[in-house]
């Protein structure tokens, strides 16, 4: 798709605030934020240690004087130690599922919910949503922020919602066809799952009524986008967010497709080296860090996302002035260190999608049977390319092997598996099984 394949519309004038004014607005909001969190025990202590008072904040760069907040800090103050308003002002809770079993809770006041709906409306409109659309939301509705966040965003724009929720794919197809949903909202991996189930039912996915899609909540790649757009014949946009910061609505793509505009009037973004925590040079990849400038119930200062991406604040032809973040390469906690080389699952995805005959379904298994790390990449073969002939499969395997080596620099053991043999997910896809972790080796 070329740039501006659909009309560029802007939801909120604030999205085009000139950058010098934006900087001043951020500084003022940052001062207010520091004053607001002064009674949150974690920040009270951290700000006292850093010897910073609200009046010390003169410009957005003064953010560097403030302390970081990590997921671990939220866990240590479980469940609601970061609440900055009286409990009676909380209108809703959400949470992110934790690997430890307990979620991390986030809270919203009524104003926070209103802001959230507006922020989702921003990226939805930037990605082509119009009031006349019918949007099928196939995200989980519950503690996960995907379902409710997008739901209220779509309603704010004035489009109609089909709150299908995640799962039951045959029913998704029925709803889509019977209600003529022309926009799909879910994870990119679930969109592929929907296309596959359609084919199994004898429906050509390209004949479904879908025209646009807004995907997010998991790392994916430009090649994956091409694949999904071709399979479902729609225009797919990427949007990003995380529950601790607000949920979806932190950033999203516009029609120019050159990164995801961050709503910088509400989230001050930094990109730091994950080890030194020093800012990386502009345009370099690093860990994204967000400060919630306006959130009331549970504001966070310098929250470390663990997401690796880069920032670009050069002008965008769409007129929005918010800096753009690149697509997320992956999370630092999903980064695999294989024989000393850093590898993100998204790089394996990129390599696989370059090879014709492979399906975009894969699972990376890592182990250390002896002294060395070993990586096995299980890759599904497309039904039309699957063959009993060893020689044909060997050629395919060799090509994948070469591509993985070219993209990541590591040798992997490639296992071709039959079509539809890997587990499908209805939400965030699980791409990695690391046996080294189970064995306590990492
Ligand atoms: O996934 C919020 C969300 C819902 C975003 C729906 C977009 C759409 P969490 O469950 O807290 O919140 O997970 C947040 O998901 O730190 C990233 O690692 C990843 N993530 C979210 N969006 C993207 C994206 C929601 N567009 C974590 N690309 C984040 C890559 C993403 N990764």
Confidence of residue 2 (pLDDT cuts 50, 70, 90): very low
Q: How far is ligand 1, taken at its centre, from the CA of residue 229, in Å? A: 20
Residue-wise pLDDT for 217-228, tens only, equals 999 999 999 999
249 pLDDT exceeds 90?
yes
**CB contact at 8 A, 352 and 359:** no
Q: What is the reported pTM?
A: 0.97
What is the spatial distance between Cα 90 and Cα 108, in angstroms, rounded to a whole number?
Answer: 6
Say if residue 243 is in the same domain as residue 351: no
Summarised one tens digit per residue, pLDDT across range 4-46 is 689 999 999 999 999 999 999 999 999 999 999 999 999 999 9
Distance of CA 27 from the midpoint of ligand 1 (Å):
27
Closest atom of ligand 1 to 306 CA is 16
- Ligand 1: atom nearest CA of 238 is 26
* Residue 362 sits in the same domain as residue 231: no
CATH number assigned to the domain comprising residue 165: 3.40.50.12780
Does 151 share its domain with 249? yes
Residues 37 and 184 in one domain: yes
What is the share, in percent, of the chain residues with pLDDT greater than 70?
98
Nearest CA to ligand 1 atom 13: 242
Do 59 and 131 share a structural domain?
A: yes
Reported as type and span, the H/E element at residue 253 is strand 247-253
Q: Which of 293, 316, 332 is the last residue of a domain?
A: 332
Q: How far is the CA of 287 from the centre of ligand 1 (A)?
A: 14
Contact (CB, 8 A) for 229 and 103:
no
Same domain, 42 and 73: yes
Which pLDDT tens digit goes with each residue over 71-96?
999 999 999 999 999 999 999 999 98
Asked whether residue 415 falls in the same domain as residue 380, the answer is yes
Q: Are residues 276 and 232 in the same domain?
A: yes
| Chain centroid to CA 309 | 11
Q: Which protein residues touch ligand 1 with a CB less than 6 Å away?
A: 96, 139, 144-146, 216-219, 238-243, 247-248, 305, 307, 328, 331
Pair 347, 312 in one domain: no
Q: Which of residues 315, 332, 349 is at a domain's end?
A: 332
Scored b (16 or more CB within 10 A) or e, 3-37 reads eeeeebeebeebbebeeeebeebbbebbbebbebb
* Domain stop point among 313, 332, 351: 332
Gap from CA of 262 to ligand 1 centroid (Å): 14
Q: What is the CATH number of the domain that holds 389?
A: 3.30.300.30
Check whether residue 234 and residue 361 sit in a common domain. Answer: no
Each residue's pLDDT tens digit, 424-440: 999 999 999 999 999 99
User: Which atom number of ligand 1 is nearest to the Cα of residue 243?
Assistant: 11
pLDDT confidence bin for 215, thresholds 50/70/90: very high
Per DSSP, 60 falls in state G
Provide the domain limits for residue 355. Answer: 336-438
**Predicted local confidence at residue 98, as pLDDT:** 67
CA of 399 to the centre of ligand 1 (A): 32
3-state secondary structure of 331: strand
- The answer, yes or no, to whether residue 1 has pLDDT greater than 50, is no
Q: What is the average pLDDT score of the chain?
A: 96
318 and 406 fall within a common domain? no
Provide the domain count of the chain.
2
Dig out the tokens for 332 from the structure: 């630092």
- The alpha helices in 201-239, defined as continuous H runs, are 222-232
Checking if the pLDDT of 51 tops 80, the result is yes
Same domain? 433 vs 319: no
Going from the Cα of 389 to the center of ligand 1, the distance in angstroms, rounded, reads 41
């Amino acid at each position: 798709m070329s740039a501006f394949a659909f009309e560029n519309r802007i939801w909120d004038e604030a999205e085009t605030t000139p950058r010098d004014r934006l900087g001043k607005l951020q500084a003022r909001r940052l001062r207010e934020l520091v004053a607001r969190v002064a009674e949150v025990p974690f920040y009270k202590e951290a700000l006292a240690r850093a010897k910073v008072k609200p009046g010390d904040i003169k410009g957005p760069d003064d953010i560097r004087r403030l302390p970081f907040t990590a997921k671990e800090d939220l866990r240590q103050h479980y469940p609601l130690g970061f609440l900055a308003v009286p409990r009676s002002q909380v209108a809703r809770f959400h949470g992110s599922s934790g690997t430890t079993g307990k979620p991390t809770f986030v809270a919203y006041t009524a104003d926070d919910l209103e802001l959230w709906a507006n922020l989702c409306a921003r990226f939805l409109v930037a990605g082509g949503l119009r009031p006349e659309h019918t949007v099928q939301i196939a995200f989980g509705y519950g503690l996960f922020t995907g379902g409710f966040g997008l739901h209220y965003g779509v309603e704010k724009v004035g489009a109609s919602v089909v709150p299908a929720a995640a799962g039951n794919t045959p029913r998704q197809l029925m709803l889509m066809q019977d209600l003529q949903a022309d926009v799909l909202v879910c994870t990119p991996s679930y969109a592929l799952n929907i296309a596959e189930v359609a084919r199994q039912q004898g429906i050509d996915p390209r004949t479904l009524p879908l025209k646009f899609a807004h995907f997010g909540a998991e790392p994916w790649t430009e090649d994956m986008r091409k694949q999904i757009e071709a399979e479902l014949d729609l225009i797919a946009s990427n949007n990003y967010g995380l529950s601790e910061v607000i949920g979806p609505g932190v950033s999203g793509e516009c029609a120019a497709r050159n990164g995801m505009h961050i709503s910088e009037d509400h989230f001050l973004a930094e990109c730091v080296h994950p080890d030194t925590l020093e800012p990386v040079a502009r345009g370099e990849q690093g860990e994204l860090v967000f400060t919630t400038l306006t959130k009331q119930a549970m504001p966070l200062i310098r929250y470390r996302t663990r997401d690796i991406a880069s920032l670009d604040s050069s002008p965008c032809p769409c007129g929005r002035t918010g800096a753009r973040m690149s697509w997320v390469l992956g999370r630092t906690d999903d980064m695999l260190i294989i024989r000393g080389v850093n590898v993100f699952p998204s790089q394996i995805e990129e390599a696989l999608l370059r090879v014709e005959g492979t399906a975009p379904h894969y699972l990376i298994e890592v182990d250390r049977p002896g002294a060395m790390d070993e990586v096995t990449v299980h890759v599904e073969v497309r039904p039309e390319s699957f063959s009993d002939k060893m020689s044909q499969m060997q050629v395919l395997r060799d090509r994948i092997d070469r591509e993985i080596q070219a993209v990541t620099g590591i040798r992997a053991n490639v296992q071709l598996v039959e079509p539809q043999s890997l587990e499908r997910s209805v939400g965030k896809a699980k791409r990695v099984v690391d046996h080294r972790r189970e064995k306590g080796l990492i």
